[in-house]
Chain A
Amino acid sequence: MINSLDALKQWKTDIIEKEKYRLELMICAGTSCISSDSDLLVEMMEKKIADNNLNAEINVVKTGCFGFCGQGPILKIEPDNVTYVRLKLKDVDAIFDKHIINGEKVYDLMYRNSDDEDPAESEAGMAFYQKQYRIALRNCGEINPERIEDYIKNDGYVALGNVLTQMSQDELITLIRDSSLRGRGGGGFPTGLKWQFTKASKSDEKYVICNADEGDPGAFMDRSILEGDPHTIIEAMVINGYAIGASNGLIYIRAEYGLATQRLFIALQQARENGFLGENIFGTDFDFDIEVKLGAGAFVCGEETALIHSMEGHRGEPSVKPPFPSEVGFRGKPSNVNNVETYANIPPIILKGSEWFKSVGTKHSKGTKVFALAGNIRNIGLVEVPMGTTFNEIIYDIGGGIPNGKDIKAVQIGGPSGGVITKEYLDTPIDYDSLQRVGAMMGSGGMIIMDEDSDMVEIAKFYLDFTQDESCGKCSPCRIGTKRMYEILDRLTQMEGTPHDLELLEQLGENIKTASLCGLGQSAPNPVLSTMKYFRNEYDDYAYRRKKTAYSIDGEKCIGCTKCKRVCPVDCIDGKVREIHVITESECIACGACFDACPVNAILKP
């Protein structure tokens, strides 16, 4: 049991003293890398090490997400500071024989920023990492999330010890307020203020709630933090409990996040065993414990009142605010709800101070934001950048640009509640206010890059399909309105719409925004309204039924190689060898297989 700051420091010293290895192999064991067999890689590597009796000098560390998911599985070797990417099981031998035994680097397995550049030995040489600044993700990829010792080595629970033994509740809340930290789950509400309100509510019982119901399609930062650094969240929640005077915490986590939940349970157990949860934490009279509540698959439960109703065993429907959860929350008691990424910022702010945190970011948006970069982009993964970084920097410097020589069309940010940013606005700095000015929002951090081939009406329809399905049904503007909007979009894309439909879409959209009960409905029309604003011509093409939906062949270029004919899944291409081929346009399903197969670019897009 750790019952004082001195005991914690001594434990850290002991761990560092005891665990001295010649080499440490950090292998990513996040969901994405495990899907590419990183767990087998770990097993094979451990077996090799054991077979050669090297257990005492080589340590294999199963870490959380490195962020560079598109290059997984990733292996980092410390202290040599060498990173290998896209590993296959057969590469284990080369790395073991050459690097581990003989100390020779294996250049073939390193990352290259482009094909004609020399391989980058470490993260410092990878453009993907150069503009990143990691606060929330600081331990992801650095420690084994299933060992509390790894967290202690990186100053784990020191912030909690400092708070409990040296700070009053008000001093703590002032520190968080001074840091200007704002909620990272989408709303952007000042965190310190929320803590202050919940502290001010008088009650015999209060609750600290961590919102881990990450539901935006394409956003996975909360999951990565829980998978890669679960103790940070526990530590921050205990600190939050002390600030507002609560002794119970709850984590509401998505049912689909199996690995994150499993690691959370391990971390909770370890925290209890070592006295960071339970009674008399750090020898003070402060008690706190945390319970995990599993979600059951409903996007709207990310809304805090809906989340609370779901934890109480009801349908996850939101209720009217006020009263806010800080007054009437879980079981009718004052509750403080914060998102995972918000919590991950708390321990560093306490350790390094509010001035340090404020030195990162822009005037009104401080610190960093984690984005899940995906879609038509070279480097897919999780990136954490200072507020104020521009889209251009993320897309071209970190993301490596658009693959296959294509041009960018738009960036979708903020998920089903957000909007699109077009090419002209890519030099916009990313912070809460600048995004609002261009008609988008920060959201929880999904950032989807779309290339020139993307059909914006289809994208808008995709998001509406999502929101109308996830609408809880409590208020009619959202329940019926989003359904009608989806039907109109569906009619348009089936070439059965009329120009009048576009007016209807706009009217409905504005009405749903004004009249809906919660954030889901109020923001549901955004993807449609924002694509209508910037890509009106694409909507017109559908409304006036002049959109072409079939591929065709340029007779001047076709060499009659038959490649397109062979790949066509619906057999709608006719032609003999060395003769010009023809697509029967009425049968074409526009899958694009012929376009990809053609060696001479003779296929014309719709």
Chain B
Amino acid sequence: MRKDVINTKDLEQHHLDSLDAYIDTLDKSRKEESLIPTLYKAQNLFGYLPHNLQWYIAQKLNLPSAHVNGVVSFYSFFSEKPLGKYTVSVCMGTACFVKGADKVLDRILKKTQTEPNEMSEDGKFTVKDVRCIGACGLAPVVTVNEKVYGNISAQQMEEIISQYQEEDND
């Protein structure tokens, strides 16, 4: 086992305490079924699921850590990398796609100088292409954290990203 994986010192203790308390409320006879809810809770507390946190959860639930990592890497909701302050999600549903969402995404990536799903160097943005969010009436749609921008053009989106960039510099 690699040392950095089993070293959980950098994980904040009060979050680990909350996680322990949550795990205690779950049905112990069904530890496998408890895994996905536990991962939800952990991602909620820590923001993402680094390898040592996955290892910690595996120990707590008495599951192989390979199984935990297999589940984490399977589902797109779980992230093994830290996220930027703003998560910019570009809907790539079909309705958005035929209305030019791919061009909007390209422009955002260029403007934030990032790759999809990678945090920008300054830690401000993570840009994602996401599955249909079901707001097809507003296509193409982009969300920045919880805020929804509908009927958006590449040009407008560039201006919106600028606003977020400037806001952060204040």
Listed in ascending order, the chain A residues whose CB lies under 8 Å from chain B are 31-32, 35-36, 69-72, 215-220, 223-224, 255-257, 293-299, 310-316, 372, 374-376, 380-381, 412, 415, 446, 448, 450, 454, 459, 462-463, 466, 472, 569, 591, 593
Contact = CB atoms under 8 A, between A and B. Distances in A.
A591 B37 CA distance: 43
A582 B76 CA distance: 45
B98 interface: yes
Interface string B52-74: 00000000000000000011001
Given A255-B77, A446-B94, A69 B131 contact: no
Contacts of A374: 94-95, 136-137, 139
B126 to A, nearest CB: 15
Contacts, number: 126
B162 interface: no
B109 to A, nearest CB: 14
B5 interface: no
Interface string B103-137: 10001000000000000000000000011111111
A474 to B, nearest CB: 11
Main secondary structure of the interface of B (DSSP, over half): helix
Nearest to B146: A258
B94 A412 contact: yes
B150 interface: yes
Nearest to A330: B33
Contacts of B16: none
Contacts of A372: 136
A218 B93 contact: yes
Given A312-B33, A313-B33, A313-B35, A220 B134 contact: yes
Contacts of A217: 92-95, 97, 131-132
B6 interface: no
B94 A462 contact: yes
B137 A294 contact: no
Nearest to B102: A462
A32 B97 contact: no
Contact of B98 (A72, A220, A314, A448): A448
28 contacts: A31-B134, A35-B135, A35-B150, A36-B138, A217-B93, A217-B132, A218-B94, A218-B132, A219-B132, A220-B134, A224-B134, A296-B40, A296-B77, A296-B78, A298-B75, A299-B131, A310-B36, A311-B33, A313-B33, A316-B74, A380-B95, A415-B94, A448-B98, A450-B98, A472-B74, A569-B107, A569-B154, A591-B154
B98 to A, nearest CB: 5
A220 B103 CA distance: 23
A218 B95 contact: yes
B36 A315 contact: no
A101 B75 CA distance: 53
Contacts of B156: none
B32 interface: yes
Contacts of A472: 74
A223 B137 CA distance: 14
Contacts of B34: 313
B148 interface: yes
A256 B95 CA distance: 17
Interface of B: 32-37, 39-40, 70-71, 74-78, 92-95, 97-99, 103, 107, 130-139, 141, 148, 150, 154-155
B132 A380 contact: no
Contacts of A310: 36
Given A224-B134, A374-B95, A380-B137, 19 more contacts: A31-B133, A35-B138, A69-B137, A71-B137, A72-B137, A216-B132, A220-B132, A256-B133, A257-B134, A293-B36, A310-B36, A315-B70, A315-B74, A374-B137, A375-B98, A380-B136, A450-B98, A462-B97, A591-B154
A313 B36 contact: yes
A376 B98 contact: yes
A31 B148 CA distance: 10
Given A217-B94, A217-B131, A314-B71, A69 B136 contact: yes
A439 B44 CA distance: 45
A448 B94 contact: yes
B77 A459 contact: no
Contacts of B93: 217-218
Nearest to B95: A374
A32 B137 contact: yes
A217 B40 CA distance: 24
Contacts of A412: 94
A295 B39 CA distance: 12
Contact of B71 (A36, A313, A375, A450): A313
A505 to B, nearest CB: 20
A218 B136 CA distance: 7
A32 B130 CA distance: 16
Q: Which among B34, B135, B148 has the greatest number of chain A C-beta atoms within 10 A?
A: B135
**Lowest 4 CB-CB distances: which A-B pairs, in order?**
A69-B137, A374-B95, A220-B134, A296-B75
A540 B70 CA distance: 41
Contact of B95 (A215, A255, A448, A593): A448
Nearest to B39: A296
Contacts of A463: 94
A479 to B, nearest CB: 13
Contacts of B97: 217, 459, 462
B132 A459 contact: no
A472 B76 CA distance: 12
A593 B154 CA distance: 10
A21 to B, nearest CB: 29
B77 A220 contact: no
Nearest to A596: B153
Contact of A256 (B33, B131, B148): B131
B102 to A, nearest CB: 8
Contacts of A35: 135, 138, 141, 148, 150
B160 to A, nearest CB: 15
Contact of B75 (A71, A215, A297): A297
B164 to A, nearest CB: 18
A297 B32 contact: no
A217 B32 CA distance: 30
A192 B1 CA distance: 53
A514 B141 CA distance: 37
A218 B77 CA distance: 19
A593 B92 CA distance: 21
Contacts of B137: 32, 69-72, 374, 380-381
A454 B95 CA distance: 12
A88 to B, nearest CB: 14
Nearest to B149: A35
B124 to A, nearest CB: 23
